[in-house]
Chains A and B, each alone.
Chain A
Amino acid sequence: MQVEVSGSAVISLLVDNESGALARIVELFSGRGYNIQSLTVAPVDEHGHTSRVNIVTTGTQSSIWQVKTQLERLVPVSRVVNLTAEGPYVAREMALVKVVSSGEPRTEALRIAQAFRARAVDTTASSFVFELTGSTDKLDSFIELMRPLGLVEVSRTGVASICRGPQTIQNF
């Protein structure tokens, strides 16, 4: 049998905002041995009846296709789109990054933050909390650069994603 390559995919869902809906989604991943790298969820319609869930998962093309068809079977799930497979999309996340340092490393941290357009949302004599929004790659590289400069804590939101152009998740 030929070996399939693994990759990551961004899957976006519209879900009825009801108790247990998120548990169903998460348990589907754990129960069937699929992997969740990040997950975001929040209501997105005006009445708060519908939530959007964005999941970054990794797997072979066929396993990701499997995830999608399994998700479509869930009663509260009204829409599932594999954005990675369906064409251009925007995916952004936000990170809060705490750096504790002084002297040269502190100045260096601030310089890099400016280059990345990260905002210092909290500043003390010995620390910064930077807020940075962007692609996962951009956040990753920022965090890597901060590591030798006194990085002590990271909090990330996970990915929010949407397809490019006038098309919406509703009309895939």
Chain B
Amino acid sequence: MTSMTGSTTLNAQTTTTLPGAEVLLRALVEQGVEVIFGYPGGAVLPIYDALFKQDHIRHVLVRHEQAAVHAAEAYARSTGKVGVVLVTSGPGATNAVTGLLDAMMDSIPLVCLSGQVPTPLIGNDAFQEADTTGITRPVTKYNYLVRKPEDLAPAVHEAFAIARSGRPGPVLIDLPKNITVGDAPYVDAGAVTPRTIRMTTQPDRAAIARAVAAMKAGKRPLFYTGGGVINSGPQASENLRRLVALTGFPVTSTLMGLGAFPGTDERFLGMLGMHGTYEANLATHDCDVLIALGSRFDDRVTGRLDAFSPGSFKIHVDIDPSQINKIVHVNEGIVGDVGEIIAMMIEEWEKQPAYAHKAELEAWWAKIEGWRALDCLRFGQDQAPDAVIKPQQAIQRIYELARQTGRDTYVSTEVGQHQMWAAQFFRFDQPNRWLTSGGLGTMGYGLPAAVGAQIAHPDALVLDVAGEASTLMNIQELGTIAQYRLPVKIFIINNHYMGMVRQWQELLHGSRYSESYSDALPDFVKLAESFHATGLRVTRLDQLDATIRQALEHNGPVIVDICVAEGENCFPMIPSGAAHNQMILGPEQEAVSATISKEGQMLV
């Protein structure tokens, strides 16, 4: 198997010949690229030289290649466009690997361009050589090593098609230096037939009719929506709202799907899963029809599999056929674009006989309201002026005060307790505003993600809800923030612990806090100042609101070190290996104990 892109069909046309780097940039411009996140090095110098000579594409210089990928992910997620990354060979490419897998797991469309040593040197352990296509094969949707000049432009065009199509994901193009230096023919996107067309399918109308019939028969129905609705585009969120309004069914969402349905709508039960709300999880357990829309039955969502929504008729809509019946056996699987399928469900709903279980649906809602009344996210905040701030209090106030600004707001997070609290307390009314690392749970995502979102939306309010441990994993991006004067607001929920690790150690490992204390932390205020940003610190309740307001009103980058209670746990929690009706609740709620099995310990 030797030649590459053997099947990217080329339609006849007259060709222009240009240096490879210029062919590359021209193809990017044709693909609508406006911004590249990157970091230079020997193998990509010809590309940087070509960038220097043009003004169509803006390059954002990050401080680490992993951050370039996360920034591009946030750019992509918040705009619906393909994010573009440029890294050098060897260490540049290997540094990008975590970000690529992050994008793969969360279905984010990216194109990553990596430099490579010249083709005659490949395989010789040349300086800064890495088998980049080998290393990135399992973390990309597809990758290319461009060996021949005539493959360059077609590879770029096809890469964008692959990144966007079906279930989106990252595509890498490895570019040997002789290919970018030497001449290559330019071909237009229109002249290339990408292989993605092999994979397109039309939704099965009969299956949709059966699914809607099952929905009409449902007495305790529930929509379980995921990131697929967001990936499908704003129209899918619009359609979802219409379908919910039409049916009157309750909605829960995965972490990745937040914002597809308005978080403030009364039909929204909050997130489901490990740190989902009481009402969402019990509804999932007790429903009789579960309609999964662009969600994939992730283990954080399902908990113990044999106890997942045990009695329900399951409908699964997904663009990726391999997701259907992968984890949970479903009764009706529908493959296709979820936005389109929701629209078809609406048509079908209106065509079929009227819904005959209004009374049962009302009873179902009454049950849900009963669960809701527990107020599972309530926490006890000591109201004394000098009281220690609870992390939940901090996050809730960041949300409320940011909302009061009335500005279009994008929120990124790091990974840990603060991420889960942010998912619980922030209520998104629009898609594409919530930027978090779901599938991979990558600490170090939040700060570069805030960079990407602010670059994409210069006038918007961009918040990063961070943990003190995670944020140190890509803290160098304060340099990028300074260079581009990005007015991002970084709220460090500083509990002096890898809080999520500490929580598991408390619950599962006899409170032996092995290596989870955040020792020797920097002074975040001084750190901010040394990176030309504003640093604020708050340690007592009576200063919390004022400090958050000060940060939100400041027109430059701010780090707020919010010193919070160290020992708080994030509830509700379904311990690994437990069922949805075995949640652990917070001290404020009546304790419903769940025993954590040995398998639970192994499930991580």
Chain A positions near chain B (C-beta within 8 angstroms):
1, 16-24, 27, 31, 41, 49, 51, 62, 65-66, 69-70, 72-73, 75-76, 78
Chain B positions near chain A (C-beta within 8 angstroms):
1-7, 133-134, 137-138, 141-143, 145, 147, 162, 195-196, 198-199, 306, 320-322, 324-326
A73 CB contacts on chain B under 8 angstroms = 199, 320, 322
Identify the closest chain B residue to A49 (Cβ). Answer: B6
CA distance A7 to B584 in the complex (A): 41
CA distance A100 to B326 in the complex (A): 50
Q: B326–A66 contact, CB under 8 A?
A: yes
Contact of B134 among A18, A23, A65 (CB under 8 A): A23
Given A1-B306, A23-B137, A75-B195, CB of A18 within 8 Å of CB of B3 = yes
CA distance A76 to B142 in the complex (A): 9
Q: B1–A17 contact, CB under 8 A?
A: yes
CA distance A69 to B321 in the complex (A): 6
CA distance A16 to B158 in the complex (A): 15
Identify the closest chain A residue to B325 (Cβ). Answer: A62
Given A24-B137, A75-B195, CB of A18 within 8 Å of CB of B322 = no
Q: B322–A66 contact, CB under 8 A?
A: yes
Q: B322–A70 contact, CB under 8 A?
A: yes
Q: B322–A19 contact, CB under 8 A?
A: no
A75 CB contacts on chain B under 8 angstroms = 141-142, 162, 195-196
Identify the closest chain A residue to B326 (Cβ). Answer: A66
| Count of chain A to chain B residue pairs whose CB atoms are closer than 8 Å in the complex | 65
CA distance A7 to B3 in the complex (A): 36
Identify the closest chain B residue to A68 (Cβ). Answer: B322
B85 to chain A, nearest CB (A): 19
Q: A69–B133 contact, CB under 8 A?
A: no
B1 CB contacts on chain A under 8 angstroms = 17-22, 41, 51
B337 to chain A, nearest CB (A): 16
Q: B325–A17 contact, CB under 8 A?
A: no
CA distance A74 to B453 in the complex (A): 31
A72 CB contacts on chain B under 8 angstroms = 199, 321-322
Identify the closest chain A residue to B162 (Cβ). Answer: A75
CA distance A19 to B162 in the complex (A): 18
B254 to chain A, nearest CB (A): 21
B94 to chain A, nearest CB (A): 18
7 pairs, A vs B, C-beta closer than 8 Å = A1-B306, A16-B7, A17-B2, A18-B1, A21-B1, A23-B134, A70-B322
Q: A49–B7 contact, CB under 8 A?
A: yes
A24 CB contacts on chain B under 8 angstroms = 137
A21 CB contacts on chain B under 8 angstroms = 1
CA distance A22 to B322 in the complex (A): 20
B155 to chain A, nearest CB (A): 11
B326 CB contacts on chain A under 8 angstroms = 66
A26 to chain B, nearest CB (A): 10
Q: A16–B145 contact, CB under 8 A?
A: no
B450 to chain A, nearest CB (A): 32
A41 CB contacts on chain B under 8 angstroms = 1
Given A62-B325, A66-B326, A76-B195, CB of A20 within 8 Å of CB of B6 = no
A70 CB contacts on chain B under 8 angstroms = 322
Q: A78–B198 contact, CB under 8 A?
A: yes
Given A27-B137, A27-B138, A49-B6, CB of A19 within 8 Å of CB of B145 = yes
Identify the closest chain A residue to B306 (Cβ). Answer: A1
A22 CB contacts on chain B under 8 angstroms = 1
B591 to chain A, nearest CB (A): 30
Q: A20–B195 contact, CB under 8 A?
A: no
Q: A65–B138 contact, CB under 8 A?
A: no
Q: B7–A20 contact, CB under 8 A?
A: no
Identify the closest chain A residue to B133 (Cβ). Answer: A20
CA distance A65 to B2 in the complex (A): 30
CA distance A20 to B199 in the complex (A): 20
